[in-house]
Amino acid sequence: MAKMIRAGRELIERHANLDLVLINDVIRLAGTSIGAFYGRFQDKETFLAAVLDAAVAETQAEADNLVWQDAVWTEGTASDMVAALVDYYVRGCRQNRGIFQALLKVFSMDRRESSPLVALNRHMSALFIPALARKMPVRPGEDVELDIQIAMQMLSGTLSVMMLTDPGPLHLADDAIKQQLTERMRRILRLA
């Protein structure tokens, strides 16, 4: 099963489109048979859901490890944390561009609650917002967590548009993207 999941993920990355993932290609890449495929998955939709669930679980685990193991999340400043957050998001988008593009293309507000993107966003928010909020300067009358949510929405929205339409002036492959997005997040959070 793991070989089929890896093959599906490779095909999604390659095509950035769930419709272009063909069962025959999965079988060929995984070195398995049609019987083995249907012995594990009811249909293509069930298979794709398993591939996407595995990708989301891996991304969530990477984020958890980052917060638990990187000293910036316990010892760093809010500004340091913003830089680490931007770095993580940009690296994740670069590494999983095809999967994110495919998910963004099929995203539906009608099925929002079942979207892997929404589940991933909730996990990231629950992980990163409290950690960053603890290090933010206290300003009377301000909702620090709301400010962080808005900054993270700007970050994920900007990266999503880059992956879907790549309008510029910044592009996901640009060397300057991390610095530029970090500066803007710091401005939004009034850390700069």
Alpha-carbon span 190 to 168, nearest angstrom: 25
CA distances from 131 to 62, 93, 110 (A): 16, 22, 32
- pLDDT tens for residues 136-178? 988 888 899 999 999 999 999 999 999 988 888 989 999 999 9
Cα 180 off chain centre by: 19
* φ, ψ at 19 (rounded to 5°): -65, -25
Q: Omega before 169 cis (within 30°)?
A: yes
**Band (12; pLDDT cuts 50, 70, 90):** very high
* φ, ψ at 15 (rounded to 5°): -95, -20
Residue-by-residue DSSP string for 35-53 = HHHHHH-SSHHHHHHHHHH
- pLDDT tens for residues 86-121? 999 999 999 999 998 988 888 766 677 778 888 889
pLDDT on residue 61: 94
pLDDT of residue 76 exceeding 70: yes
pTM of the model: 0.89
- Return the residue matching tokens 């910044």: 170
**HSE-CB of 33 using CA atoms within 13 angstroms:** 3
pLDDT on residue 110: 65
Contact 163, 101 (CB under 8 A): yes
